[in-house]
């Protein structure tokens, strides 16, 4: 039932994006001392959602605006350019920790949106708690 609401679909996609980004960050930290390893990251959620995360508008007649977009994509890790250490590694553990905090905050925001939406729906149905 909740999956049909765009806001819950967006919250679910945001949580999945944050989880995927945390996985990439963990891989970066694990390879922080690997010679030649290049830092990787995935595109920001707003960019991914704009490019293909929205399900688009439904059109009921041919004259309506029909801006349909494909399903979520762009979650593949990509190498990020940056200055490397003498051994060619571009991972900064301090920067990765900052990115991990950002991803965690994004995940918590997605969960808060999902909880808030479910509370509004329960209230509209006359149910509490």
Q: What is the dihedral of CA 84, 85, 88, 90, to 10 degrees?
A: -40
**Is residue 78 over pLDDT 50?**
yes
Q: Which residue has the tokens 């890790």?
A: 77
**Residue 74: which residues within 8 A CB-CB, separation 6 or more?**
42, 43, 47, 48, 51, 52
Residue 71 DSSP code? S
Contact 54, 76 (CB under 8 A): no
> Is the pLDDT assigned to residue 65 strictly greater than 80?
no
Question: If pLDDT is split at 50, 70 and 90, which confidence band does 60 have?
Answer: low
| Segment 42-65 mean pLDDT | 66
What average pLDDT does this structure show over 44-73?
57
pLDDT of residue 118: 86
Question: What secondary structure letter does DSSP report for 79?
Answer: E
- The pLDDT value recorded for residue 70 is 34
CA distance 27 to 71: 26
């Amino acid at each position: 039932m909740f999956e049909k609401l765009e806001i819950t679909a967006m919250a679910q996609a945001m949580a999945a994006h944050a989880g995927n980004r945390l996985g990439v960050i963990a891989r970066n930290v694990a390879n922080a001392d690997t010679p030649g390893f290049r830092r990787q990251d995935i595109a920001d959620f707003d960019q991914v959602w704009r490019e293909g995360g929205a399900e688009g508008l439904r059109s009921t007649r041919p004259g309506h605006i029909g801006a349909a977009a494909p399903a979520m994509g762009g979650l593949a890790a990509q190498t990020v350019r940056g200055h490397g250490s003498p051994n060619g590694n571009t991972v900064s553990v301090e920067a990765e920790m900052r990115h991990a905090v950002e991803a965690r905050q994004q995940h918590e925001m997605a969960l808060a949106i999902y909880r808030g939406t479910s509370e509004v729906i329960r209230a509209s149905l006359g149910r509490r708690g």
